Structure 1
């Protein structure tokens, strides 16, 4: 999504990630495979309409969990969007997931977008701090503080 975004709107999109932490999936399943497995499990449970999905979630306080073929656990909730009403995210401490602070994820994504738009100078600390400034995040004092960010950047490059 960021690669196809205009550079001027990337930071606005990244600000929507919030300010806390989240779980990111880094397992072997592609997004399409994750969605396919969830669709199959929902179909087997007799869930094939929004009303059936809402009733399915109501049985467990508004959310459900599903374990996929790679043993990862996914949480399902009702999405706010009307057309796409199934909200899916990795379960906390699920296999193949890791916790990430929103500020580190925003920085890594902005850095990757800057790389794709040929906006990097090859000065890692300066480049990281430039994207952090644009995101209204505090600067890093050294590259030693960026270990978690660099791990996320490495994961993003695997795609």
Structure 2
């Protein structure tokens, strides 16, 4: 858990926070690949919601904690009572993004938060897509005007660094990899 995630929050910015990963890419570029690879394990292998908004992980956590404090939910017992028989509940943060609140896996991190499906400032992402794009960005691979060249870049990095199968095409209109790669590249140019 990154140090900016306060107790009792359980939140994984490696799989749920775009700007956090932009900063991580800068760090990963100067580290050995083994450090990056270990961090990418936190991303897992599922489909998930990925936050693109301006709130930092710390602001997201503090806004969530503030929500609970205003409702006088300041203990695990109070949280369990609030959650009741529900598997999850949804709250809205100051930027109008919606977040799912579930029971955390750890006694000291009993409030598990992650972006809600189709919430404002979020997109749906496959873990392998995100890992592929992060690997390309860490290695400073530019997006080419040549679609075949992009496919070669993608497959080389999927095979060499992630031990993932190659893909058959990067259809310009439907490629989640290409869209996410472009998002990271454009953000790097802007920031």
> Is the contact made by 1:42 and 1:48 (CA closer than 8 Å) also made in structure 2?
yes
Offset of 1:15 from its aligned partner? 4.1
What residue is the counterpart of 2:115 in the other structure? 90
- The answer to whether structure 1 residue 111 and structure 2 residue 136 are counterparts is yes
Ranges in structure 1 where 5+ consecutive residues have no aligned partner: none
Offset of 1:135 from its aligned partner? 1.7
Offset of 1:77 from its aligned partner? 1.4
Paired with 1:34 and 1:24, the residues of 2 have a C-alpha distance of 13
> How well do the aligned residues superpose, as a CA RMSD in angstroms?
2.7
Paired with 1:63 and 1:126, the residues of 2 have a C-alpha distance of 42
1:140 corresponds, among 155, 163, 167, to 167
2:64 corresponds, among 24, 38, 52, to 38
What residue is the counterpart of 2:4 in the other structure? none
> Is the contact made by 2:60 and 2:93 (CA closer than 8 Å) also made in structure 1?
yes
Ranges in structure 2 where 5+ consecutive residues have no aligned partner: 1-23, 144-148
Say which is worse superposed, 45-54 or 34-43, in terms of deviation: 45-54
Bigger relative contact order (CA 8 A; separation at least 6):
1
What residue is the counterpart of 1:72 in the other structure? 97
What residue is the counterpart of 1:156 in the other structure? 184
- TM-score, length of structure 2 as denominator length: 0.66
Offset of 1:142 from its aligned partner? 4.3
Offset of 1:144 from its aligned partner? 3.5
What residue is the counterpart of 2:81 in the other structure? 55
What is the aligned residue count? 154
Matched residue of 1:29: which SS?
coil
Matched residue of 1:79: which SS?
strand
Matched residue of 2:124: which SS?
strand
Structure 1 outlier segments of 4+, above 6 Å? none
Matched residue of 1:80: which SS?
strand
